[in-house]
Amino acid sequence: MVKRAMLAGFAMVFAAGLSVAGQDSAVKSGSWSGVITNDMCGVKDASAAKAECTAKCVKSHGAKYALYDEADKKVYILEPQEKADGHAGHQVTVQGTLDGDTIHITSLAMNTAKGS
């Protein structure tokens, strides 16, 4: 009986370790390029022409700044939001860590080659 209880305890510890390891592997460092938009309108507001709409949605309607990455056709929420403020509609490159659908920004730079 004691052996069975110890074995069950080891199995639980092993499973918990795998769960934590799986969470860490979901976080990915990298660089993403695209247009600053918002998470409510996403692709629809991903342009310089819609910059005012994006800023209004963020300030007045509770939306969050996001990056529309044209390469993988995905919208990523940006954190901290302050680093994206003032860049609505701009073509940018963001460096940081991706956790789910959120990029935790370490740097954000405008892409001058795209004319924004």
Q: Is residue 2 part of a domain?
A: no
Per-residue pLDDT tens over the stretch 88-111: 999 999 999 999 999 999 999 999
- Alpha-carbon distance 44 to 73, whole Å? 12
**pLDDT-based confidence at residue 112 (cuts at 50, 70, 90):** confident
Cα–Cα distances in angstroms (integers) from residue 10 to residues 4, 5, 6, 86, 115, in the given order: 10, 9, 6, 52, 58
Q: Is residue 18 part of a domain?
A: no
CATH of the domain at 102: 2.40.50
Per-residue pLDDT tens over the stretch 13-66: 555 555 454 455 578 999 999 999 999 999 999 999 999 999 999 999 999 999
pLDDT of residue 116: 45
- Alpha-carbon distance 48 to 108, whole Å? 17
Q: Is residue 99 part of a domain?
A: yes
pLDDT of residue 50: 96
Q: Is residue 62 part of a domain?
A: yes
Q: Is residue 46 part of a domain?
A: yes
pLDDT of residue 9: 57
Number of domains in the chain: 1
- 58: its two tokens: 């963020």
Q: Is residue 75 part of a domain?
A: yes
Q: Is residue 69 part of a domain?
A: yes
Q: Is residue 19 part of a domain?
A: no
Residue 93 structural domain: 28-114
Residues 6+ away with beta carbon under 8 Å from 30 = 95, 96, 97, 98
Would you say residue 85 has pLDDT above 80? yes
